[in-house]
A and B are shown apart, each in its own frame.
Chain A
Amino acid sequence: MRLSKYSSTFSRIAGSSAAVALMGLLQGCLIDFGGPQSTLDPEGPIAKRQLDLFYVTCWVCLFIFIVVGAVLAYAMFKFKANTAEDEKKVGPEHAHGNPLVEIGLIGASVLALVIIAVPTLSGIYYSFDVPVENKADAYEVTATGYQWWFKFDYPSETAQTLDPTGKTVNAAFSVANELVIPAGRPVRVNLRTVDVIHSFWIPKLAGKVDMMPNRANHYWIEAEKPGYFWGQCAEFCGESHAVMRFRVIALGPKEFNDWVNAQMQPARKVAALADGAPAPKAHFADYRTFTRNEAGYTSAYDTDPLAAWRAMQVAPASGENPALINQGRKLFASKTCSSCHTIRGDGYIGVVGPELTHVGSRSTIAAGLLENNPDEIHRWIHAPNEVKPGNTMWMKGYVANEIKLTPEDEDALVNYLESLK
Chain B
Amino acid sequence: MEALAKADFLDKGERKAKPFVLYRPTAKTGLISWLTTVDHKRIGFLYGITALFFFIFGGLEALAIRIQLMKPNNTFLTSAQYSEMFTMHGTTMIFLVVMPLGAAFFNFIMPLQIGARDVAFPRLNAFSFWTFLVGAIIVNLGWFMKDGAPDAGWFGYAPLTTRTFAPTHAIDMWVMGLQLLGVASIAAALNFIVTIINLRAPGMTMMRLPVFTWMTLFTSFLIVLSFPAITIALVEIMMDRLFGTNFFEVSNGGMPILWQHLFWIFGHPEVYILILPAMGIISEILPTFSRKPLFGYPIVVFSGASIGFLGFGVWSHHMFTTGMGTTATAAFALMTMAIAVPTGVKIFNWIGTLWNGYISMRTPMMFAIGFLWMFMIGGLSGIMHSAAPADAQQHGSYFVVAHFHYVLIGGSLFALFAGIHYWFPLMFGRKVSEFWGKASFWLVFIGFNVTFFPMHFLGLRGMPRRTFTYDGNMGWAEGNLIATIGALILAVGVATYFVTITYTYFKGEKTSMDPWDGRTLEWMLPNPPPEYNFQVIPTVHARDGWWYAKQHKEEIAKEDAEHKKEDEAHGGIHMPHMSIWPLMASVGIFIGALGVAVIDPANTHDYPGFWGPKVGVTILGGAIMFVSVLLWSLEGADGYHIHLNDDGSIKPDDGHGSH
CA distance in complex: A241, B396 (Å): 12
Q: Which of B292, B322, B482 contacts A28 (CB 8 A)?
A: B482
The distance in angstroms between the C-alpha atoms of A191 and B348, with both chains bound, is 44
| A203 interface residue per 8 A CB criterion | yes
The residue on A at minimum CB distance from B474 is A35
User: Are A390 and B290 CB-contacts (below 8 A) given A68-B347, A213-B256?
Assistant: no
Shortest CB-to-CB span from A60 to chain B, Å, is 8
State the Cβ distance, A2 to closest chain B Cβ, in Å: 9
Bound: A91/B356 CA distance, A? 7
0/1 per residue, A253-287, Cβ < 8 Å to B?
Answer: 00000000000000000000000000000000000
Residues of chain A contacted by B356 (CB below 8 angstroms): 79, 91-92, 95
CA A290 to CA B359, docked complex, whole Å: 60
Chain A's nearest CB lies how many Å from the CB of B408?
Answer: 19
The reply to whether A239 and B157 contact each other, CB–CB distance below 8 Å, is: no
Within 8 A of B (CB), among A330-373: none
Contact assessment for A208 and B321 in the assembled complex, using a CB-CB cutoff below 8 Å: yes
Question: Given A3-B433, A90-B291: A38 and B462 within 8 A (CB)?
Answer: yes
A213–B322 CA distance with the chains assembled, in angstroms: 11
* Residue on B nearest A194 in the bound complex, by CB: B250
How many whole Å from A201's CB to the nearest CB in chain B?
A: 7
A382 at the interface (CB under 8 A from B): no
B72 and A295 contact, CB distance less than 8 A: yes
Q: Does A172 contact B (CB under 8 A)?
A: no
Contact A97 B297 (CB under 8 A): yes
A407 contacts partner chain B, Cβ-Cβ < 8 Å = no
A106 to B303, CA, bound (A): 11
B358 A97 Cβ-Cβ under 8 A? no
Contact of B75 among A40, A57, A292 (CB under 8 A): A292
Of A105, A241, A242, the residue contacting B348 (CB under 8 A) is A105
Q: Chain A, 229-255, contact with B by CB distance < 8 Å: what is the 0/1 string? A: 010111111111111000000000000
Q: Mark A77-93, 1 if CB is under 8 A from B, else 0.
A: 00111000011111111
User: In the complex where A91-B291, A121-B330, A293-B74 touch, is A116 in contact with B337 (Cβ < 8 A)?
Assistant: yes
Evaluate contact between A127 and B392: CB separation under 8 angstroms: yes
- Total interface residues on A, CB under 8 Å, equals 122
Interface-central residue, B330, B383, B462, B469, by most chain A CB under 10 Å: B462
Are B292 and A90 interface neighbours, CB within 8 A? yes
A17 interface residue, CB < 8 Å from B?
A: yes
- Which of B296, B333, B355, B476 is close to A120, meaning CB atoms less than 8 Å apart? B333
Residue of A64, A191, A213, A239 ringed by the most chain B CB atoms within 10 A: A213
Complex Cα distance A243/B330, Å? 33
Judge whether B446 is part of the interface by a CB distance below 8 angstroms.
Answer: yes
Q: Interface segment, B42-50, B78-86, B569-577, B614-622? A: B78-86
Cα–Cα distance between A61 and B340 once the two chains are bound (Å) = 11
A306 CB to nearest B CB, Å? 15
Q: A313 vs B384: C-alpha distance in the bound complex, in angstroms?
A: 43
A185 to chain B, nearest CB (A): 21
How far does the Cβ of B449 sit from chain A's closest Cβ, in whole Å?
7
> Is A397 in the interface zone, CB < 8 Å from B?
no
Question: In the complex, what distance in Å separates the CA atom of A2 from the CA atom of B391?
Answer: 51
Within the complex, which residue of A96, A124, A217 is in contact with B323, where a contact is CB–CB below 8 Å?
A217
B contact residues around A81 at 8 Å (CB) = 291, 358-361
A62 and B380 CA atoms in complex are apart in Å by 8
A127 to B395, CA, bound (A): 15
Whether the pair B462, A6 counts as a contact (CB closer than 8 A) is no
A151 vs B53: C-alpha distance when bound (angstroms): 46
Contact between chains at A50 and B392 (CB < 8 Å): yes
Q: Mark B220-262, 1 if CB is under 8 A from A, else 0.
A: 0000000000000000000000000000001001111100000
A residues 288-333 near B (Cβ < 8 Å) are 291-297, 299, 302
Contact of B78 among A32, A69, A191, A389 (CB under 8 A): A389
CA distance A236 to B341 in the complex (A): 32
Task: Give the docked Cα–Cα distance between A11 and B83 (Å).
Answer: 39
Q: Are B395 and A123 in contact (CB under 8 A)?
A: no
Query: Is A171 interfacial (CB 8 A cutoff)?
Result: no
A29 touches B (CB below 8 Å): yes
Complex Cα–Cα for A234 and B400 (A): 12
Query: Is A377 an interface residue, CB under 8 A from the partner?
Result: no
CB of B392 within 8 A of CB of A207, answer yes
Partner of A29, one of B330, B383, B462, B479: B479
Out of A147, A207, A389, which one reaches B391, CB within 8 Å? A207
Q: How far is the CA of A392 from the CA of B299 in the complex (A)?
A: 57
The answer to whether A113 touches B325, judged by C-beta atoms less than 8 angstroms apart, is no
Task: Name B370-396 residues within 8 Å CB distance of A.
Answer: 372-373, 376-377, 380-381, 383-384, 386-396
Cβ contacts B458-472/A at 8 Å (1 or 0 each):
101111111111111
Q: Which of B3-11, B56-64, B434-442 contacts A (4 or more CB under 8 A)?
A: B434-442
A116-B387, A119-B387 known; A213 vs B296 contact (CB < 8 Å):
no
Q: Are B393 and A79 in contact (CB under 8 A)?
A: no
Q: What's the minimum C-beta distance from B436 to chain A, rounded to whole angstroms? A: 9
Q: Is the CB of A61 within 8 A of B383?
A: yes
**Is B445 at the interface (CB under 8 A from chain A)?**
yes
Q: Could you tell me if B165 and A117 are in contact, using CB atoms closer than 8 angstroms?
A: no
B449 touches A18 (CB 8 A): yes
**Interfacial chain A residues near B372, Cβ < 8 Å:** 72
B627 at the binding interface (Cβ < 8 Å): no
Minimum distance in angstroms from B121 CB to a CB of chain A: 35
Chain A 45-57 interface mask (CB, 8 Å, partner B; 1/0): 0010111011011
Which A residue sits closest to B72, measured CB to CB? A295
| Also in contact, A124 and B159, with CB within 8 A (given A234-B396, A297-B473) | no
0/1 per residue, A154-196, Cβ < 8 Å to B? Answer: 0000000000000000000000000000000000000100011
| Interface bits B286-322 vs A (CB < 8 Å: 1, else 0) | 0000111111111100000000000000000000011
The A-contacting residues of B in range 512-552, CB under 8 angstroms, are: 517
User: B130 near A: Cβ within 8 Å?
Assistant: no
- Tell me whether A79 and B323 are in contact (CB under 8 A): no
Contact A117 B333 (CB under 8 A): yes
Minimal beta-carbon separation of A65 from chain B (angstroms): 6
As a 0/1 sequence over residues 220 to 236 of chain A, the CB contacts with chain B under 8 angstroms (1 = contact) are 00000000001011111
For residue A408, give the distance in angstroms from its CB to the closest CB of chain B.
30
Name the CB-closest residue of B to A203.
B462
Q: Does A58 lie at the interface of the complex (its beta carbon under 8 Å from any beta carbon of B)?
A: yes
Q: Which residue of B lies closest to A40 (CB)?
A: B460
- B202 on interface, CB distance cutoff 8 Å: no
Residue interface bits B332-358, CB-to-A below 8 A is 1, else 0: 011001101100110111011011111
Q: Which residues of B contact A25 (CB under 8 A)?
A: 450, 453-454, 482
- Nearest residue (CB) in B for A215 is B257
Q: Does B25 interact with chain A (Cβ within 8 Å)?
A: no
Chain A residues within an 8 Å CB radius of B255: 214-215
B216 on interface, CB distance cutoff 8 Å: no
Give chain B residues whose Cβ lies under 8 Å from the Cβ of A230: 462, 474
- Flag if B80 contacts A390 (CB, 8 Å): yes
CA A60 to CA B392, docked complex, whole Å: 19
Chain B residue contacts of A126, Cβ below 8 A: 389
Which residues of chain A are within 8 angstroms of B373 by Cβ–Cβ distance?
69, 72
**At the interface, yes or no: B475 with Cβ under 8 Å from chain A?**
yes
- Whether, in the assembled complex, A136 has its beta carbon less than 8 Å from a beta carbon of chain B, the answer is no
Residue of A110, A241, A292 with highest tally of chain B CB at under 10 A = A241
- Counting from the closest, the 6 A-B pairs by CB-CB distance are A207-B392, A37-B462, A91-B292, A35-B475, A97-B296, A123-B389
State the A residues within 8 Å of B (CB). Answer: 3-4, 6-7, 10-11, 14, 17-18, 21-22, 24-25, 28-30, 32-40, 47, 49-51, 53-54, 56-58, 60-62, 64-65, 68-69, 71-72, 75-76, 79-81, 86-93, 95-98, 101-102, 105-106, 109-110, 113, 116-117, 119-121, 123-128, 147, 191, 195-197, 199, 201, 203, 206-210, 212-215, 217-219, 230, 232-243, 291-297, 299, 302, 389-390
For this complex, 10 residue pairs linking A to B, each with C-beta atoms less than 8 Å apart, are A28-B482, A39-B393, A47-B393, A61-B384, A106-B341, A109-B340, A121-B330, A121-B334, A195-B165, A208-B395
Known: A102-B296, A215-B323. 6 other contacts (CB 8 A): A89-B291, A113-B340, A117-B333, A195-B165, A242-B467, A389-B78
